[in-house]
Amino acid sequence: MKVSVIMTTYNGEKYIVDQLKSILNQSRHADEVLVFDDVSSDKTVSLVNDFITDNNLKNWRLFVNKENLGWKRNFIQGILSASGDVFFLSDQDDLWHPKKIEIMADVFSKENGANLVVCNYLRFGTSDSNKLSNKCVELGYHIQNNRLKNWNIPYPGCTYAIKKEFFYHIKDLWMDGMAHDYFIYEAAWLSNSIFVCDSILHFFRRHNESATTKSPVLFDKNLRLNSIVKKIQLIDSFMFFDKIFDCREGAMLKKWLELRKDLIEKGSFRTVLKLLSLFHLYNNFKTFFTDCFVALKSK
């Protein structure tokens, strides 16, 4: 099995060398590491180039985009450029446990039905990095269950390893502007092919410059509606594309999303009552109350 690591970068000079080291020091080395820089204005490119040269890494390559693509398109182009049988996704500012590739790749070797393998992770702040332990209790893995509860992407894309065959099967369904990890997770969820490594194999750095730390505009009606419409379109695409996707659960998700759309557009109390019967599909109370607030605000 050939393993590719795909990293995207943008103005990541503060933390990128530490992340490069954690990938280099894996117990099971990647067969290729591809870094895609999105026109950084700091020293990111030179730091990556120096790291590759200083460590004589023949199977590591750096690509610098001609124009800024944004992190979503940058990850998609990176995945499409990789040649491995399994793709690991990497942010520029996290840290990997030394056995991350070894343990997660082993799941693919043992489980033919695994299309997406995710690992547990630990969040840490910029001042906590020297306190992290590389000790790992190998707790094994399991196929994700309780599916209706977990459809809401509880794992960030930086914890993903994806089977190339599966991604290429669905790649044409990706819509520009949709997060790559949401797209991949939903496809794997609807095909019941997510495996979860119970061990903590990823250290997820949180800081103010991180793209995922910046909160979306929660109360913008149009942005919220556009996001819901895209999710409905994606579920439709999966369900009509191939029988591997669970149409029954997909139809339930679609109904819930359509009710959310109807609530935000019309602000009907009757719709609120209908949504309460599907409340278990909400990730948390906050999302439900935000839907209600946006609906009232726009009336």
Which whole number is the average pLDDT over 78-84? Answer: 97
Q: Are residues 166 and 50 both part of a single domain?
A: yes
CATH number at residue 133: 3.90.550.10
Q: Distance (Å, rounded) from C-alpha 282 to C-alpha 128?
A: 32
Got the DSSP string for 193-257?
-EEEEEEEEEEEEE-TT-TTTSPP-TT-HHHHHHHHHHHHHHHHHHHHH-TTS-HHHHHHHHHHH
My answer on whether 137 and 270 are in the same domain is no
Q: Residues 158, 53: one domain?
A: yes
- The yes-or-no verdict on residue 257 having pLDDT over 90 is yes
Range 116-134 average pLDDT:
74
Joined tokens for residue 206: 């949180």
Shared domain for 159 and 236, answered yes or no, is no
Domain assignment present for residue 154? The answer is: yes
Co-location of 245 and 289 in the same domain: yes
Q: Which of 176, 206, 236 is the last residue of a domain?
A: 206
Is residue 211 in some structural domain? no
Residues 6+ apart with CB under 8 A from 279: 288
pLDDT at residue number 213? 44
- Find how far residue 142's CA is from the centre of its chain: 19
Tell me which of 179, 206, 233 is where a domain ends.
206
94 and 142 share one domain: yes
More confidently predicted of 210 and 231: 231
Tally DSSP H helices, then E strands, for the chain: 11, 9
Q: Give yes or no: residues 287 and 181 share one domain.
A: no
Query: Is 227 within a domain?
Result: yes
**Are 166 and 231 in the same domain?**
no
164 and 247 co-located in one domain: no
Select the more confidently predicted residue: 126 or 72.
Answer: 72
The rounded percent of the chain whose pLDDT value lies above 90 is 66
Answer whether 60's CB lies under 8 Å from 52's CB: yes
> Is 72 domain-assigned?
yes
If one compares 287 and 82, the residue with the highest pLDDT of the two is 82
Does 154 score more than 50 pLDDT?
yes
Give yes or no: residues 268 and 146 share one domain: no
**Which among 193, 18, 1 has a CA at the least distance from the CA of 83?**
1
Does residue 125 fall inside a structural domain?
yes
- Domain span at residue 128 reads 3-206
What are the backbone angles phi and psi of residue 146, rounded to the nearest 5°? Answer: 50, 50
Q: Among candidates 196, 30, 21, 176, which has minimal Cα distance to 104?
A: 196
Is 273 found in the same domain as 228? yes
Total count of domains within the chain: 2
Average pLDDT, rounded, for the chain: 88
In a domain, 212, yes or no: no
Q: What residues form DSSP beta bridges with 206?
A: 125
Is residue 148 over pLDDT 70?
A: no
Calculate mean pLDDT across residues 223-246: 90
pLDDT digits (tens, 9 = 90+) for 15-49: 999 999 999 999 999 999 999 999 999 999 999 99
Whether the per-residue pLDDT at 227 is higher than 60: the answer is yes
Domain boundary, last residue among 160, 183, 206? 206
- 74 found inside a domain: yes
Confidence label for 217 from pLDDT (cuts 50, 70 and 90):
low
- Radius of gyration of the CA atoms of the chain, in A: 20
Does residue 233 share a domain with residue 193? no
Distance CA 266, CA 250 (A): 24
Residues 88-111 have pLDDT tens digits of: 999 999 999 999 999 999 999 999
In a domain, residue 216? The reply is: no
